[in-house]
Amino acid sequence: MKETTINYVFLDRDGVLVRDKEHIHKVEDLEILPGVTEGLRSLRDLGFRFIVVSNQAGIAKGYYKHEDAHNFNDELRKRLAKEGVVIEAIYMCPHHPNHTGECLCRKPKTGMLEKAARNFSISPKNAFLVGDKDSDIEAGGCWGCKTFRIINDQYPETIPADYRVKNLVEVASVLRELQIRA
């Protein structure tokens, strides 16, 4: 009997799934980016599952509470579920080194990826990380998975990703091509 491999896509939240408005946490400000649901459905159809890994320093800075972030994330999951997309889990780092000290979960560290890997039995060779900031790309690279950078003029690119794309539709297109070649 052939063993089935489950592939995962780790997704940064702000700038990848939702419009990045500094320290966004209010449900009424949640705006899913163009191409997100289409791209996620295409990836789902290719057999991928989704986990969100997101730095949420606004909690450490006192801009909002854990509850606000959880409510925002719950609404995001609900909206995506209505579009046929399931987010398996959302991991957040509520820390910031200037406010709470160093931690192991804040990207570019790999704590959130490692925790998800333990909880879902994920191997880096069966995962991809999609982000828009150097910290995302560095975390994925350090953990050992392939990385996709959503091109964003808002943040400098000093750490190269394995792939540069405009949106999640392009991520799905690249992964479809890779599966065809495999």
CA R_g for the chain:
16
Supply 32's token pair. Answer: 């899913």
Under CATH, which number does the domain 24-127+142-181 receive?
3.40.50.1000
Total-model pTM: 0.95
The answer, yes or no, to whether residue 167 has pLDDT greater than 70, is: yes
Supply 123's token pair. Answer: 């191997």
Which residue is associated with the tokens 């050992």?
Answer: 144
pLDDT tens for each residue of 18-65? 999 889 999 999 999 999 999 999 999 999 999 999 999 999 999 999
Full DSSP string of the chain? -PPPPPEEEEE-SBTTTB---TT---GGG--BPTTHHHHHHHHHHTTEEEEEEEE-HHHHTTSS-HHHHHHHHHHHHHHHHHTT--EEEEEEE---HHHH---SSSTTS-HHHHHHHHHHT--GGGEEEEESSHHHHHHHHHHT-EEEEE--TTS---S--SEEESSHHHHHHHHHHHHHH-
pLDDT tens for each residue of 100-147? 999 999 999 999 999 999 999 999 999 999 999 999 999 999 999 999
The answer, yes or no, to whether residue 4 has pLDDT greater than 50, is: yes
Q: 134-143 and 111-120 are packed helices; what angle lies between their axes, rounded to 10 degrees?
A: 50
Residues 6 or more apart whose CB falls under 8 angstroms from that of 180 comprise none
Query: Which of 90-94, 112-116, 152-156 has the least mean pLDDT?
Result: 152-156
